[in-house]
Amino acid sequence: MELNAVHREIPPRIDGYGDTSGKLFEGAFARHPSGYRSGARMRSFTPNSGSKLSGSIKDAIKASGLKSGMTISFHHHLRNGDYVVNQVIKSCAELGIGDLTIFPTALFEVHKGIIPYIKSGVVSRIMGSVNGAIGRLVSEGGLGSPVVLRSHGGRPRAVISGDVHIDVAFIAAPTADRAGNISGQMGSAACGSIGYAFTDAEYADVVVAITDNLQSYPISPVSISGIFVDLVAVTDFIGDPAGIVSGTTRVTRDPLRLLIAKYASRLIEASPYFMDGISFQTGAGGIPLAVTSFMREAMKRRDIRASFGLGGITGYFVDLMKEGLVQKLMDVQSFDLEAARSIASNPDHIEISADWYANPWNCGAAVNMLDVVILGATEVDVDFNANVNTEADGALLHGIGGHQDTAAGAKLTIIAQPLTRGRIPCVVDRVHTVTTPGDVVDAIVTEFGVTINPKRIDLLDACVDFAASREIPLIPMDELAAKAKSMCGAMEPIRTTDRVVAIVEWRDGTVIDIVRQLEKQVS
């Protein structure tokens, strides 16, 4: 066992993953690439190449040349309304194709439909976030190979660097034409941005668009050009609109969470970044949205306009843009109907790829331009390390998302959450899993105030006046941790076997932590 830079013991070799030597996490910005991107397979199409159209997913799979043992990819913009992953896996099973590695950008509860195929060996490996039932299955040892977790930026990095080779990419296409041009902005399964799918289209050996809305050539706008798409499968429904985009996302009304949001907002106001041109990412959670709401008031009060909002975009941000408080939106995933409508109609609402959003190995992802990000975590520790992957019982239930990328990129990374959830502390001595190193986390905001990473002396200084007036109660990490301990008592240690069920990669491809199999629950 070797220790990486966040003091995690990493086995020198992990079955189903490989050697970890030379791949241990060394620091948030320690690893740099050399050499060249892994190029996509060259093709040639002529006017006589024939039609790309298939009448069914199964026919497209046959035409793709997919074989047992290969790697297939999916994107998750259809979220919990996605019909594509389950249909593709089922079709593979029916075609006798097995031992597949699936490489989704994320899986949702709806994808528990593939559990029987995990059990039967159709799917033998998962590289991507596993939530809900699949996460539970993995945590308890139900998958032969460990899951590999990557951030939204780490995933395209893995593809361009050749760490992951996609044999066949299946791209859910809310609208497509016969040449394979794809847009997420029209059709009954419209989801807005399809930013996560860009890299898959550009690098996979074979690219299959799956659509329920085939339109005349050429569609416009085009998000992914047909020059990357080999096959177009036409099917009845690619998704359930109700599961794809939620109604307008709402700010929390819980007084505790509003208090946390208020503290976080004050911290931003006190920071040197609160000036004309500030940029921020807040995602779709209740607390972050409330922070946005408080910031909206503060921006109006102090006559400040933000330059851009980034990441997964909600209707709340769309409203800020309409009000003139935010000038641009950079959207890798449109969370709700408002956002999906906006990206289809407003040129200042820019669709960005995951590469553009967060890849550390290009000429500068959008996260590098970010001033402030508000994040959550299942727990943080006294070193400010954050865990977003495992729950208090040690079960692997969440993906990394853009957590690592935005924390590394933003000038001010805030984790805002209640100190306890039920009897579970959110601040601990040592997180069960390190997703994001404390080095890139600047502040923890709880209902007890603001806890600033001691390395950010500048931030502490900036908060002095606010702290004096109690608008920002400052609480040092040791006090916060002690408070959590006194409220929750000692926690039962999580009992695991030695078997590694998941590898958490830092966005640069190094191993920041591993997740071990849970001991069989006696229930």
Binds its own copies by CB under 8 A, chosen from 214, 287, 332, 365: 365
Place of tokens 């006190």: 270
If one counts every other C-beta atom within 10 angstroms of the C-beta of residue 364, the result is 11
Shortest Å, Cβ 220 to its own copies: 5
Site residues for its own copies, 133-172, by CB under 8 A, read 160-161
Please count the residues of this chain forming the interface with its own copies, following the rule CB under 8 A: 66
* C-alpha gyration radius of the chain: 23
| CA dihedral for 92, 98, 101, 107, sign (positive or negative) | positive
HEC string of 200-246?
A: HHHHCCEEEEEECCEECCCCCCCCECHHHCCEEEECCCCECHHHHCE
Binds its own copies by CB under 8 A, chosen from 408, 426, 431, 512: 408
* Geometric angle at alpha carbon 443, from 437 and 444, rounded to 5°: 90
First to last CA, the chain: 33
* Residue 41 makes contact with its own copies by CB under 8 A: yes
Compose the 182-211 pattern: x for residues touching its own copies by CB under 8 A, - for all others.
-------------------------x----
> For 216, phi and psi rounded to 5 degrees?
-60, 145
Give Cα 244 to chain centroid, integer Å: 16
Binds its own copies by CB under 8 A, chosen from 14, 123, 191, 366: 366
Pairing of strands 206-211, 13-14: unpaired
- Per the DSSP assignment, residues forming a β-bridge with 334 are 313
Pairing of strands 449-452, 420-421: unpaired
Helix, strand or coil, per DSSP, at residue 279: strand
Distance, in Å, from the CA atom of 334 to the CA atom of 191, rounded to the nearest integer, reads 6
Shortest Å, Cβ 77 to its own copies: 19
* Residue 38 makes contact with its own copies by CB under 8 A: yes
Per CB under 8 A, the segment of 48-56, 261-269, 373-381, 475-483 that binds its own copies is: 48-56
**Do residues 163 and 199 touch, judged by C-beta distance below 8 A?**
no
Binds its own copies by CB under 8 A, chosen from 81, 135, 146, 180: 180
Binds its own copies by CB under 8 A, chosen from 16, 26, 40, 483: 40
136 vs 341 by CB, closer to its own copies: 341
Q: What is the DSSP letter of 113?
A: G
* Residue 44 makes contact with its own copies by CB under 8 A: yes
117 vs 308 by CB, closer to its own copies: 308
Per CB under 8 A, the segment of 100-108, 167-175, 362-370, 489-497 that binds its own copies is: 362-370
* Residue 229 makes contact with its own copies by CB under 8 A: yes
Helix, strand or coil, per DSSP, at residue 425: strand
* Residue 255 makes contact with its own copies by CB under 8 A: no
159 vs 397 by CB, closer to its own copies: 159
Binds its own copies by CB under 8 A, chosen from 12, 65, 144, 364: 364
119 vs 455 by CB, closer to its own copies: 455
The footprint of its own copies (CB under 8 A) covers 29, 31-49, 52, 160-161, 179-180, 207, 216-218, 220-222, 225-230, 277, 307-308, 327-328, 330, 347-348, 350, 352-353, 355-356, 359-366, 368-369, 408-411, 508
